Amino acid sequence: MLPKLSVDHCPKCGSIYQYNLRRMCTSCSAEYDRQLNACIGYLRRHRKSDNERLSLATGVPAKQIISFITERRLSLNDYPNLSYHCELCGTSIRSEKLCTACRVKINNEIYLMFQEERRRQERNAPVRHSYICKDR
């Protein structure tokens, strides 16, 4: 009996490849490594570069640089001017998935929803009457 080969389509180029941990074909994997090494090499010499300057100097697309950051391939602790975008409003941030303003906005909306739900439950709750027994 022949061994079963796991194959998949490369998400970058669409070619068929033998499934691996990187989940891309060998040529796209090599290009990924080349781009990452180019970024790391440039940042070693120009530690304070921002995303735009890094992209122009290395030829690596800005979207790929952001991907390196979010995948934690490039550490924001080591490079003070690199950033990525808030998932809600697109503002440049350096931690979390949302900027402070969006986090506050969402927390306020959740708080208001809970308040409204509590008010609705209080309105719909059965009225409890307390009776005073006068047995004297």
The stretch 95-113 carries a mean pLDDT of 94
The stretch 100-120 carries a mean pLDDT of 94
pTM more than 0.85: no
Task: Report percent pLDDT > 90 for the chain.
Answer: 69
C-alpha closest to that of 69 among 45, 88, 43: 43
C-alpha closest to that of 64 among 36, 37, 86, 41: 36
Residues 6+ apart with CB under 8 A from 24: 10, 11, 12, 17, 32
Instruction: Kindly list the domain boundaries of the chain, sorted by start residue.
Output: 30-85, 86-122
The stretch 4-28 carries a mean pLDDT of 88
Q: Is the pLDDT of residue 5 over 80?
A: no
* pLDDT tens track for 31-65: 999 999 999 999 999 999 999 999 999 999 999 99
Counting Cα atoms < 13 Å in the Cβ hemisphere of 92 gives 10
